[in-house]
Amino acid sequence: MRKSTIDLSKAVSPLLAIFFALLFGGAAIYLLGFNPLAAYASLAKGSVGSIKAVTETIVKAVPLIFTGLGFAVAKRCGMINIGAEGQLYMGGLFATAVGVYWDFLPPGIHLLAALAAGVVGGGMWGALAGWFKVRFGASEIITTIMLNYIASLFISFLVTGPMKEPKGEFPQSSQIAHTAQLPRILPGTRLHLGFIVALLALAFFYYFLWKTASGYEMRVVGMNPEAARYAGMNTAKSSLLAMFMAGGFSGLAGATEILGVQFRLFQNFSPGYGFDGIAVALLGRNTPIGIFLSGLLFGMLRAGANMMQMLAKVPVSVISIMQAFVILFVVGRSFFETRKSRVNILESESESDLEAEVGEGDRV
């Protein structure tokens, strides 16, 4: 009975976080002088009001799913990956390089090579933070944040210099070859094959973590590193693998955004997908289904923001406020759950000590 109650609580708490985020978001819209009901109606129209709106929601959700996985796989190994944004940029850079300069490859191979390059680029950037953690004990939170800035500035340097489009006036690369572009799934829309890749990534995330020995070791390291070492597990290897996979997932976010939407590299091509992915993972409780659903939710918010601004005149920045409320309520809930579990542990230990003392007194 207790386990089912806990499972029900875990399922309900994200819904409560969404509810309160919408409630407080509506209050913020009202305080700004707008009609919350009209704002949410226009938001729904822009995100699910038509086939094209739904496809735009999915297009916005694809990179969020990847970056959510990038945070979740590291968290499962006990690490906090704040560097999905930088890993996304490096994945986009590598995918662009292959898409532009490897145009001698045949169509199918060229696309696969560009996607693989995105995984490698993001994975190497993530593994670098993991190496700093394993080798020097550096906090991965600090190193991943610093690497975000380095990646962003490196992209700015490349698109204004070595990779700048020949005879171009704008800071951007040449357009990637058609053989490296992700095909459209639904004609007349921007829905591309990256959505299928995201579904495969979710399936791989589940299979690797819950069906393989390496995934099991990674989860054990995340739950109790000392116990993992005592059991003979290589915690350093698990940490490096987790950060490489985290970077690889985030790199796929950049690769699919370039290969399926933008078709060229330029400065700040990500509107913050790497940071929003943290909220996606937290709301989805680092589970495949949860990340998928929360990714769609945040995709709805991004897809409907412009329509909300056009019809209800509500600034797009309100969406950021709503996302902040989601993070606040999810993190707050996790904080109270952690505190409650610690209190329960202390109470159980106190009861055990009391029973031991009573038993010893009876023997005397």
Domains of the chain, each with CATH number or no CATH: 33-314 (1.10.3470)
Higher-pLDDT residue of 11, 266: 266
Q: How far apart are CA 231 and CA 254, in angstroms?
A: 38
99 CB-near residues (< 8 Å, 6+ apart): 110, 114, 176, 177, 180, 181, 258, 259
CB 62 within 8 A of CB 195: yes
pLDDT computed for residue 17 by the predictor:
81
Q: How far apart are CA 364 and CA 358, in angstroms?
A: 10
pLDDT at 218 over 90: yes
Q: Among 155, 167, 100, which residue's Cα sits nearest to residue 267?
A: 155
Mean pLDDT of 67-71: 96
pLDDT computed for residue 280 by the predictor:
93
pLDDT computed for residue 7 by the predictor:
54
Provide the sign of the torsion angle of the four alpha carbons 264, 57, 276, 321, taken in this order. Answer: positive
CB 47 within 8 A of CB 306: no
CB 87 within 8 A of CB 274: yes
**pLDDT classification of 328: cutoffs 50, 70, 90:** confident
Tokens 């589970």 belong to residue: 287
